[in-house]
Amino acid sequence: MTEGRKNKSMVKDSFNRVHDYLRISLTDNCNMRCFYCMPDEEYLFTPTERLMNLSEIEQLADIFVGLGVKKIRLTGGEPLIRKDAAKIILALSRLPVELTLTTNGSRLHEFIDVLLRAHLQSVNISLDTLEPEKFLLMTRRDNFHRVKENIDLALGSQFRVKVNVVLIKGLNDQEIRDFIAWTAFSPVHVRFIEYMPFSGNGWSRDKLCSLQEILEEVAKDYSFIPLAGKANDTSKNFMVPGHQGTFAVISTMTMPFCSSCNRMRLTADGKLKNCLFSRDETDLLTPLRMGQDVKALIHQSIGSKAEELGGQFSVDLKNIEARTIRNRSMITIGG
């Protein structure tokens, strides 16, 4: 029986937000080199012995489920390049949670059968451009056609597909309406993501394409209507009448969703982050390996969560100094 399932103790922070959604990074390694995520082509990845192994991932996931977690998302780096990724997916699929995955899509064709066996219903796939040449520029890898084919494969396999598009002004914001056009004849859900600051990714206000600017760009060619949201949504969702697909904006920088946040992040080396932008993190892996009870550490970490944006900045974008933000690079956090 899952540990603690008979006597669940929900994880709450000091603002009474219940945290029932866990994101687990399987690796900080990736087969692409997106500059906003990985600051250096020669990045040194975490040695294998410092990563959570399959058994440790299972143990920690089981503990979190015992504390009320209802949804687990597997992330990376790129989770599907981990050698035992299939075993991890199938192992976690036995837990009473909604299991899902974020991937760059490059190896998805190798895992479709595994995801079906694990009863996943949705996948998030990163694709920041619809232009092959620009894809090479942004990812430093010539893999556009494989990713696009795998998105079609996932749709054809009846997965709910969300395509994550990090918008960077002057680079791919001219493609906003092209992505909307894609939703006309495909049931894809395109999610435009405001560019966020992480260590080494060169963030500046001038590169940010805001929620308002995105919607103004869509409105040049399309009429659209808002869709009803769900509790704990990170996105503002919309649809163009008559289109098969939908679109959304994740407005972390200009209109954050901190007041309803229910997310916890477990890095590949077993550190718990209570916010994407949190300065501090709590080591769960070392105590677990020493046979200690980590539940108190989980409660302590979430109990210390800041009210918004990790306590490091606010939506007053003019006063954000990205160089002073203390955090990991995006690839080591796990999205």
The pLDDT of residue 4 is 42
| Range from 35-39, 244-248, 274-278 carrying the lowest mean pLDDT | 35-39
Average per-residue pLDDT in the chain?
91
pLDDT surpassing 90 at residue 325: no
Residue closest to 310 by CA, chosen among 256, 266, 255, 267: 256
**Choice between 93 and 232, residue whose per-residue pLDDT is larger:** 93
Cα distance between residue 57 and residue 88, in whole Å: 8
Mean pLDDT of 242-264: 94
Residue closest to 314 by CA, chosen among 250, 253, 260: 253
Find the farthest-apart pair of alpha carbons in the chain and give their distance in angstroms, rounded. 59
Q: Return the CATH superfamily for domain 7-333.
A: Aldolase class I (3.20.20.70)
pLDDT, tens only, 172-228: 999 999 999 999 999 999 999 998 877 666 677 889 999 999 999 999 999 999 999
The pLDDT of residue 201 is 63
Mean pLDDT of 273-280: 89
In whole angstroms, what separates CA 283 from the centre of its chain? 21
The pLDDT of residue 129 is 98
pLDDT surpassing 70 at residue 323: no
Mean pLDDT of 95-120: 98
CB 94 within 8 A of CB 135: no
CA angle 256, 172, 259 (to 5 degrees): 5
Radius of gyration from C-alpha coordinates of the chain: 19
Cα distance between residue 285 and residue 47, in whole Å: 14
pLDDT surpassing 60 at residue 23: yes
Instruction: Copy the structure tokens of residue 282.
Output: 């709590």
DSSP 3-state assignment of 163? strand
Mean pLDDT of 12-39: 89
DSSP 3-state assignment of 77? coil
Strand order across the beta sheet in which 271-273 lies: 225-226, 236-239, 246-250, 189-194, 160-167, 122-126, 98-103, 71-75, 21-25, 263-266, 271-273, 282-283
The CB density around residue 244, as the number of other CB atoms within 10 Å, is: 13
Name residues whose C-beta falls within 8 Å of residue 83's C-beta, 6 or more positions apart in sequence: none
Cα distance between residue 115 and residue 101, in whole Å: 9
In a 13 Å sphere around the CA of 332, the CA atoms on its Cβ side amount to: 20
CA angle 133, 111, 40 (to 5 degrees): 45
Mean pLDDT of 140-162: 97
Answer yes or no: pTM beyond 0.85.
yes
Domain ranges of the chain: 7-333
Q: Out of 155-164, 251-260, 273-282, give the one with best mean pLDDT.
A: 155-164
The pLDDT of residue 276 is 87
The pLDDT of residue 326 is 64
271 beta partners: 283
The pLDDT of residue 135 is 96
**Choice between 215 and 30, residue whose per-residue pLDDT is larger:** 215
The pLDDT of residue 6 is 44
- Is residue 209 left, alpha or beta, with left meaning phi > 0 and alpha meaning psi from -120 to 50? beta
Percentage of residues in the chain having pLDDT higher than 90: 74
pLDDT surpassing 80 at residue 255: yes
Mean pLDDT of 241-257: 94
CB 115 within 8 A of CB 95: no
DSSP 80: G
The pLDDT of residue 179 is 98
In a 13 Å sphere around the CA of 100, the CA atoms on its Cβ side amount to: 17
pLDDT bracket for residue 231 (50, 70, 90): confident
The pLDDT of residue 97 is 98
